[in-house]
Structure 1
Amino acid sequence: MQFDLNNDGELSIQKFELMLKSNEVGFFDSDEFDQIIEHYLDEGKIALARKAIGLGISQHPTSVNLKLYRAEMFIFDNQFDEAENVLNELFEIEPNNAEIYIQKANIFSKTDRHSKSIELLKKALDLTHDQADVYNLIGMEFLFIEDYSNAKVNFMKCLELDDSDYSALYNIIYCFDFLNEHERAVDYLNLFLDRNPYSEVAWHQVGKQYFDLKMYEKSLAAFEFAIISDDHFVGAYLEKGKVLEKLGRYNEAIENYQITLKLDDPTSFAYLRLGKCFEKLGLDENAVKYFKQCVKEDPLLDKGWLSIVNYYTKRLDFQNALSYIEKATEIDADNALYWKKYASINKRLNFIEEAEYGYRRAIELGNYELSTWINRCDILIQLGEIEPAILNVENGLEFYPQEVELEYRLAGLHLKRGELIKGKFHLQNALKRDSEYIIILEEIFPAEYRLKDVQDLLKR
């Protein structure tokens, strides 16, 4: 098979793929193999990259670059011993090759030895021509060990050398956010914008910082500059809409959210915010239309389902509310918020057993709010389930040991079971904390409230 040798990257890839299809072997120089392998790695075509590495080394057994790719593949496959053997062999040949240090650092990183990785990357800094990339890698290692201050410093050094590396800029802001340094983040971004006045990403980020600082007018101005820099920047329109909502300018917020629907595929977030804006304007039919669009776009977004349910609940249309919350639980049966809402609607409809089930599921899924324990207890009492009611209150007291409403209920439950000593014990505890809540006993346990022992205790 004859090839017209050419170092053009695209032609090299075409030649390589033609060779694979024809099942014949063609010759490529080592630079061509570099281009082919890099292409497949960038495209995520790992199997083809492996084939190119194997063939490349068979044709150029002394190529350091190709062997570095082989080491990289070993690391990708978590074959660290094999990778280290290759790298040690290469170190003997080229001890000043920065990429050897970088790949060794990668092994340390993957095996959670981040301090060792940082040491090697610092050595690579003195040997590489691409210091920006190495500073970025050092920053990531500091992120792994949650040293956000040092991570931030290294990402900043990366950005000084390459101000187009927006991943470094995002990481710098992430560090500022984690350290709760919003004012310092604004100062840094403003310095960056002095050098890069048309950076839509920087304007977007400074707008978010002003938003967190509740400086909404400045935040709005920043997002407007982001849009001036790139009038197709969907994220800036979304954030601008959020600021306009905060300022009560709902019609303008709607305009911005609707722009995002035209610029890109619709998002559930935009539909949700549109619904909320129309709701604020009292345009309820428009609001519920967008809430329904929201859950159609993303059936797992609980805020969308809960907004629909709340819409019908406010109108006392509990049947429709129940219908939608049941759909929500079918889609995501492990959402505690859904089950609590399911329970409260069934309670309003006087479907007591379903309500009890909803509160029980909410608790099982981690909803430990006081109201959940109390509501479930009262329903269990209605159902005559005294044992489960006691267990429910005792579990609730583990989370709210000083909560008098639970203590009065526990007193009443023990009295109802004829356990006078336990009942009086919990009643005394409750009375010491707040005697005014005795009305709980009087209303929920009227017969037990009238007991002579209870009345004598109250008199004392």
Structure 2
Amino acid sequence: MPLTMTKRFWIIAPFLSFTLLIGLIGSNTRQAWAANCEPTDGENRPSIEELVGPLDKNPQEKTPDEVKAEQEQTDAQRREKQVRELRQAEIDRLTAKLQTSLDDPNLWLTRARIRAEIDQREGAISDLTQFMKRKGKSAEQLAQRGKLYYSLNQFDEAEADLNEAVQLEPDNTEMLYARGKLYIDQWKTQEAYRDFSKVIAIEPRHKMARFNRGYLLMGVKGSYGNYRQALEDLKIVVDIDPDWVLARYHYVRVLHSLGKSEEVIRHATFVLWHEPDSECMYSYRSAAYRFLDKFDLALSDATKYMEFNPRAESRIGMRAAIYTRMGEHEKAIDDWKTYLKIKPNSVDGYDNLIESYKALKRYDDALAVYDKVMELEPNNSDWPRFRGMLKGDVGDFQGALADLTTSIEMGGNNYDNRANIYDDMGEYAKAWADRVYQTYAVKAFVGKTIEYEQELADEEKVLAALVEQQINLLQTGKRLTRSKSLWPHNKHSAWGGYWLRGLTSLVTSDNAETQKLGVQGFRDFVDNLRACPLPPEETQTAVDALNKLAAGDQPEPIKKEASILAKDLAVLQVANDPQTEAWQPGSLYFKTFTIEKDEQGRSTEFRQFDMGWLERKKGSGENRFREIRRTPQFIEMYALDRALWVRLEVDQAKWSFDRENWKLIGKGEITQR
């Protein structure tokens, strides 16, 4: 029986008891168990020869068991023919009696029963009509005629009779059930659901009503809540009739939909024990094993599932996904390639193939597949984004930026992804700008630009009040802290200007103590600045003020610190400008540089860290540097606490205070690329 809703939902039973138990099952062939395992249509089906090999043109002689089975079938057919002949003789006898007794309702009813038994449905309908003309309508005969109409696909007549039968006996569960089945065949799912529910309310363990309501909830009203109800219905059915394999089959389906893997395995195994060719059960059980990380068992079932239809691409893909989870990427690639030969325009297939190539670090192959996917979906902004991210992973930063910029131009909000590439390049100011703009892009995408602009205006007021408060606290000797003082609102475009103006007001004070506190504030500010942009005008004013202080009458430590801070601000104003190019094509790219012995005989290591580098010298502490730029010849960095420049080349490191006269730190080598 097909497991989709077809034009045949129940069968006609003999009229001996006038009670028709109506089921979903039209037949119980093994072909039924293979239907609707996967949603794809139009898959290329293999020939018989592909499945079982060349056909034997000279069949072997039949076995004794086969001969016996054929004989039993012949005997059954002969007996059936004899019964039909006897029934027809009885019909002929009743027809003769009706010639003289037309008003005898029992003759009409008896002939209707016999005609229904031998599938003379039109005649049975006519006889039931004659019976009710003479005897009057009853719920039982209306239901019988309605079911006969239904078997002939005369749905309007069937519905009219069943409606009238239910009106006469509204609590008759078999009539309600029969009408529910009729409603399903007419796709009146709400009405069918109501009738099955009424049956269950009257008779909670009505097996067929539970079965059909569960099936209806799965196939027509699918959602999590309805699957839960379907699970309850089918669980009761299995409890009532534990040997009904079809009920177990659908019970597995709903268990699978709800992710109950252990139970899927148990009940699917039961079905396969009785119906080993129930191919869908291998699919569901394989998925359950995979969820439980029992990959060998999952693979075995997936392979068995494929044997039923070796050219079904969804089945090939299922096995490929298991190979991927097992880390068998070469085998996964083979399966995905087979899948794509059958379905060459499957974007999902190519996407999975890419992931397998990436797992094996076959990046050139993965990039080539991205090219194919972008041909298939040229307007999908995700593909240049994904390809750009992979290019960034393999160090092709220019290609990565080109792809991510294309994705953004196509409407993708991928500023964060591009910011990550800028970080890898050492373009920290550009990365900062992209991350700030990402917020605006998201707001614009959902149509909240005006609200966002108002939020910025409100935030600027809060920022101004915060800076004023912190400048006042600074004058009492309190240091600025990253989280509470400096970093709030640091993505606002006005952040740098407010802080520069506030701190400059302190160092330009006539009070020496205030000037000292202003220098301390600038140190806290510079050390926590990161990649925040600094407005040129306010920065130059601050630099001038600090240089003036350095040339004044303050104690030497204050003057020295003011001089260093003036240099720091000048460097950071340029470095934190998104328009500054901090990276050149072909630039050096490594993580660690090691010097066995510097000019003083000490081992030294430079290690990339966050937005800069850590220098570790044996016998000394750590020194921090902010990375400033990269070129094919060197990586250049700057120490904010000393105004010291360092360049790491391929085989040596140098230092300078003026960026012009360079001295050797020591010969070394790149130890982590």
TM-score by length of 1: 0.54
RMSD, aligned α-carbons: 5.4
Residues 145/250 of structure 1: CA separation in 2 closer, same or farther (3 Å cut): closer
Partner of 2:331 in structure 1? 252
> Match of 2:263?
184
- 1:282 aligns with 361
Q: How many angstroms does 1:254 deviate by?
A: 0.7
1:180-220 Cα offsets, whole Å, 9 max, x none, are x3222222222222222233321122121122112222222
- Out of 341, 345, 351, the residue aligned to residue 417 of structure 2 is 341
Distance in 2, matches of 1:145 and 1:290, equals 37
8 Å CA contact 1:155–1:169 kept in 2: the answer is: no
- State how 1:293-312 maps to structure 2 within 5 Å: 293-298=372-377, 304-312=383-391
> Partners of 2:364 and 2:183 in 1: how far apart?
61
| Offset of residue 115 of structure 1 | 7.8
Q: Which secondary structure state, in structure 2, belongs to the residue aligned with residue 146 of structure 1? A: helix
| Corresponding position: 1:173 with 2:256 | yes
Report deviation, 1:169: 4.0
Q: After the TM superposition, which residues 251-400 of structure 1 pair with which residues of structure 2 at under 5 Å, given as runs? A: 251-298=330-377, 304-329=383-408, 333=411, 336=413, 338-345=414-421, 356-362=436-442, 390=459
The aligned counterpart of 1:400 is none
1:409 alignment partner in structure 2: 487
CA change 1:185–1:268 in 2 (3 A) is same
Residues 1:144 and 1:164: Cα distance change in structure 2 (over 3 Å)? closer
One-letter amino acid matched to 1:410: P
Query: Which residue in 1 is equivalent to 2:452?
Result: none
Structure 1 residues 101, 252: CA separation in 2 closer, same or farther (over 3 Å shift)? closer
Cα deviation per residue 1:337-368 (whole Å; 9 max; x = unaligned)? x34324545776766766644452246669xx
Give the Å deviation of 1:409. Answer: 1.2
Matched, 1:196 2:279: no
SS class of match (2:318): helix
Structure 1 residue identity aligned to 2:440: R
- After TM superposition, give the deviation of residue 253 of structure 1 in Å: 1.0
Q: Separation in 1 of the partners of 2:357 and 2:461?
A: 41
Q: Give the gaps of 5 or more residues in structure 1.
A: 1-8, 10-59, 73-82, 367-385, 395-403, 421-435, 452-460
More helix by percentage: 1
Contact 1:260–1:266 under 8 Å retained in 2: no
Distance across 1 between alignment mates of 2:203 and 2:362: 61
Cα distance change on mapping 1:297 and 1:405 into 2, 3 Å: farther
Are 2:306 and 1:227 aligned?
Answer: yes
Give, as a single letter, the amino acid of the residue that structure 2 aligns with 1:206: R
1:431 alignment partner in structure 2? none
- Counterparts of 1:266 and 1:277 in 2: how far apart (Å)? 18
Q: Does structure 2 conserve the Cα–Cα contact (< 8 Å) formed by 1:139 and 1:151?
A: yes
Change (3 A) 1:339 1:155: farther
Summarize the Cα distance change of 1:249–1:441 in structure 2 as closer, same or farther, 3 Å threshold. Answer: same
CA shift digits 1:101-142 (9 cap, x unpaired): 45779999749x978862346669999989854441266699
Change (3 A) 1:101 1:116: closer
Q: Provide the residue aligned with 1:91 in structure 2.
A: 166
Change (3 A) 1:122 1:230: farther
Aligned equivalents of 2:349, 2:462: Cα separation in 1: 42
| Contact kept in structure 1, 2:401 and 2:418, CA below 8 Å | yes
What residue identity is the alignment partner of 2:315? A
Q: Which is greater in Rg?
A: 2
Residue pair 1:321, 1:345 contacting (<8 A) in 2 also: yes
Q: Shift of residue 405 of structure 1?
A: 5.3
SS of the counterpart of 1:191? helix
Name 1:217's counterpart in structure 2: 296
Could you tell me which amino acid in structure 1 is paired with residue 166 of structure 2? Answer: F
User: 1:261 deviation in Å?
Assistant: 1.7
Find the counterpart in structure 1 of residue 528 from structure 2: 440
Contact kept in structure 1, 2:286 and 2:301, CA below 8 Å: yes
* 8 Å Cα contact 1:343-1:354 kept in structure 2: yes
Residue type matched to 1:280 in 2?
Answer: A
CA contact (8 A) 2:210 2:234 kept: no
Measure the CA separation in 2 of the matches of 1:155 and 1:127: 11
Match of 2:286 in 1: 207
* TM-score where L is the length of structure 2: 0.39
Deviation at 1:308, TM superposition (A): 0.9
Once residues 115 and 145 of structure 1 are traced to their aligned partners in structure 2, the CA distance between those partners, rounded to angstroms, is 19
Q: For 1:23-102, what aligned pairs fall within 5 Å after superposition?
A: 64=146, 65=149, 69=155, 88-89=163-164, 91-92=166-167, 96-97=174-175, 98-101=177-180
Matches of 1:151 and 1:437, distance apart in 2: 63
Q: Larger RCO: Structure 1 or Structure 2 (Cα < 8 Å, ≥ 6 residues apart)? A: 2
- 1:101·1:123 contact (CA, 8 Å) conserved in 2? no
Could you tell me which residue of structure 1 aligns to residue 564 of structure 2?
Answer: none
Q: How does 1:143-158 map to 2 (within 5 A)?
A: 146=225, 148-155=227-234, 157=237
Match of 1:44 in 2: none
**Residue of 300, 303, 321 corresponding to 1:242:** 321
